[in-house]
């Protein structure tokens, strides 16, 4: 994927081809059937959309007319709403003439529930601006089922009475849904009660504490209701949305991807970040769309793509292969295919190393890491208490086995991912332990009793008590320590940061704060590492991994003037769901079958995350299965390109500051 490496090499977040002011990437487009603006990151994109909404509000104010907005929920529009609030506070943007209608609401759903879209809109926007009471509308999740039909007609009538939607803001589901119009929804559908697709419920289960607690239905505006808006803007962030974005933008209009219906709208726009755009033709194979600058990165991207697309090892590619697949310009610039093949093959070969900390007493000219110092201080940042072993467990073990001083910074407690019955089991164990050994601890008994009562009485709309969250945090801390012992590093080398942004007790987190950054900086200054490993999830602006990464990168920027930082390299790994694209990888650490098995056993130390994870997402496999599939697939790609065959590989990209 072109996006991540470009962002890594451009600390300002500017992608080549994007406007200097952070605007969208421009290109000669021949494949896209919907206007699509691609931004370096979600923040730039959100600011642009917020500016359009603000200008529309102001225009309607000058005309003395209401501005009728269709609004969306979910993670995608949060940054847009935050920018609108900023403009209200700092630029005097008034919402007194705004009338809003939200797309959807879960059914059944109480308005004050933690997962309610009514509550979401109040917390994310309405409570912070001067919109008039009664001017914002959200479908009613408290209705009796037999009343929803009449309510839906009234909702449509209210939109029409307000003058119709001037602007409709949308997100997009992983299956292409807009609103809750799931695959199969017809283009002429209107507001109605909808059965949710299993993939939608699985994605939403993060907010509900598991799939069994996730609603099966929702009230949603229909496709025709959405298409009736005079302007429609769809937002999408992150590589997980890339395949469905490509289908909607470049594919056929089909009910199997409801977002594709926007191809029929005369004034629709997709606003996406570079990660969500990664499967679009102009991003994946830009040489097929427009002339490109054939620098080394583009050459490597094109040659690896061609090799995999044709199913031929790199060293077997011919001049005709290049010419027949739109890469004649590359041949013209670099000469015959033989020379290009050898160059790219060697670059890939040089990324492979069994010495992630550098190989002592060896020529490191073509190695990804320095030979010196021979024994390095390595700091692995783990956003959750198991990301270290899941994402880079083999490398973690190698660093330790090869004599480096390894530390792990566990950035968050991960407490919300522990099931209630697991917390009760551990609290009960403490009480029984004290009783067995004659330890009189009324406080422990009280905590258990309070926790048990709280969990029995807790409604889905309520968060855990502080005591329950602490118990859950202790469970995950113990599992992380167990992993460190398993790998062989001292438990005192495990540092639990408990970053404040995470400790809300809910899936929704606070923004990154100065306190979070200072905590991160303090650990880096304490360890003075030669290597920093961090979770390089650059896409989702609201995900825990992204917030943790932001804290690390900002800390490194602030500390880079320190002498010890001049000899510090930052390596980024990916999570359990995706891997760096093959042309981006700068260090690939191979694993034997025995090492893969040892990594699996290390993952097993996190017992609270086995056999039914609270936040499973759309992937039903356990984390060890996801990790092994991902690492095996990376090794498989190297083999398909004509390099040595390994059981598995962990991959890294270097961030240069």
- Write down the pLDDT at residue 452: 77
Catalytic hit among 4, 105, 156, 182: 182
Threshold 0.75, pTM exceeds: yes
Residues of the chain with pLDDT under 70: 1-23, 25-29, 460-461, 506-508, 538-542, 576, 611-620
Which of 230, 266, 269, 232 minimizes the C-alpha distance to 249? 269
Please name every residue paired with 181 in a beta bridge, in sequence order, or none if there are none.
Answer: 178
182 is catalytic: yes
pLDDT for 138-188, tens place per residue? 999 999 999 999 999 999 999 999 999 999 999 999 999 999 999 999 999
Percent of the chain with pLDDT over 90: 76
- Write down the pLDDT at residue 11: 35
The phi, psi pair for 221, rounded to 5°, reads -60, 150
CA distance 299 to 304: 9
Domains of the chain: 33-282 (3.40.50.1360), 285-351 (no CATH), 377-417+460-655 (3.40.50.10320)
pLDDT for 514-550, tens place per residue? 999 999 999 999 999 999 999 997 655 558 898 999 9
- Write down the pLDDT at residue 365: 95
Indicate the average pLDDT of the chain.
91
CA 323, 246, 238, 76 dihedral sign is positive
Torsion, Cα 300 301 306 308, to 10 degrees, reads 100
- Write down the pLDDT at residue 15: 37
Q: Do residues 560 and 657 make contact, with C-beta atoms less than 8 angstroms apart?
A: yes
Torsion, Cα 473 477 479 485, to 10 degrees, reads 180
């Amino acid at each position: 994927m072109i996006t991540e490496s470009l962002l890594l090499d451009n600390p300002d977040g500017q992608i080549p081809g994007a406007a200097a002011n952070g605007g969208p990437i421009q290109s000669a487009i021949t494949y896209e059937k919907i206007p699509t603006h691609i931004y370096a990151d979600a923040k730039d994109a959100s600011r642009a959309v917020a500016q359009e909404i603000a200008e529309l509000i102001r225009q309607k104010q000058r005309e003395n007319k209401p501005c009728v907005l269709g609004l969306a929920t979910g993670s995608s529009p949060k940054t847009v709403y935050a920018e609108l609030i900023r403009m209200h506070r700092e630029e005097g943007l008034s919402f007194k003439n705004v009338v809003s209608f939200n797309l959807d609401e879960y059914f059944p759903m109480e308005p004050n529930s933690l997962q309610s879209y009514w509550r979401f809109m109040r917390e994310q926007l309405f409570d912070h601006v001067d919109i008039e009471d009664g001017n914002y509308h959200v479908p009613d999740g408290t209705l009796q089922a037999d009343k929803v039909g009449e309510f839906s007609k009234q909702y449509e009538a209210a939109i029409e009475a307000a003058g119709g939607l001037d602007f409709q803001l949308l997100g997009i589901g992983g299956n292409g849904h807009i609103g809750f119009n799931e695959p199969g929804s017809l283009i002429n559908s209107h507001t109605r009660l909808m059965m949710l697709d299993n993939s939608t419920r699985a994605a939403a289960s993060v907010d509900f504490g598991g799939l069994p607690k996730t609603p099966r239905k929702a009230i949603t505006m229909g496709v025709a209701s959405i298409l009736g808006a005079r302007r429609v803007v769809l937002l999408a962030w992150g590589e997980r949305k890339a395949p469905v974005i490509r289908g909607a933008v470049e594919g056929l209009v089909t009910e199997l991807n409801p977002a594709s219906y926007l191809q029929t709208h005369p004034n629709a726009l997709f606003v996406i970040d570079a990660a969500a755009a990664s499967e679009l033709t102009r991003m994946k194979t830009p040489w097929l769309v427009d002339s490109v600058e054939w620098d080394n990165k583009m050459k490597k991207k094109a040659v690896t793509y061609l090799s995999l697309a044709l199913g031929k090892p790199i060293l077997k590619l011919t001049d005709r292969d290049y010419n027949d697949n739109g890469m004649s310009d590359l041949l013209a610039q670099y000469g015959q295919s033989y020379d290009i093949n050898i160059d790219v093959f060697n670059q890939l070969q040089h990324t492979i190393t069994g010495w992630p900390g550098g190989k002592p007493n060896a020529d490191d000219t073509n190695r990804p890491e320095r030979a010196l110092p021979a024994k390095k201080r390595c700091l692995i940042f783990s956003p959750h208490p198991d990301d270290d072993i899941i994402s880079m467990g083999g490398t973690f073990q190698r660093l330790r086995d090869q004599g480096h001083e390894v530390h792990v910074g566990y950035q968050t407690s991960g407490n919300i991912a522990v099931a209630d019955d697991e917390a009760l089991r551990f609290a009960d164990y403490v009480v029984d332990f004290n009783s067995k050994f004659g330890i009189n601890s009324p406080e422990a008994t009280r905590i258990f009793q309070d926790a048990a009562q709280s969990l029995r009485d807790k409604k889905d709309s309520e968060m855990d008590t502080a005591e329950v969250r602490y118990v859950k945090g202790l469970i995950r801390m113990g599992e992380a320590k167990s992993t460190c012992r398993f790998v062989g590093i001292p438990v005192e080398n495990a540092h639990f940061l408990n970053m404040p942004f995470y400790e809300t007790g809910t899936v929704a987190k606070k923004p990154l704060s100065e306190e979070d950054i200072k905590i991160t900086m303090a650990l880096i200054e304490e360890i003075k590492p030669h290597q920093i490993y961090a979770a390089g999830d650059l896409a989702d602006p609201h995900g825990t991994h992204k917030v943790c990464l932001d804290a690390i990168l900002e800390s490194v920027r602030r500390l880079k003037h320190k002498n010890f930082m001049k000899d510090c390299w930052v390596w980024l790994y990916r999570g359990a769901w995706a891997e760096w694209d093959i042309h981006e990888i700068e260090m690939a650490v191979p694993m034997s079958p025995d090492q893969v098995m040892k990594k699996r056993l290390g993952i097993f130390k996190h017992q609270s995350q086995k056999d039914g994870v609270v936040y499973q997402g759309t992937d039903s496999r356990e984390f060890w299965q996801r990790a092994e599939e991902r690492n095996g697939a990376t090794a498989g790609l190297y083999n398909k390109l004509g390099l040595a065959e390994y059981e598995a590989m962990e991959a890294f990209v270097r961030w240069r500051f």
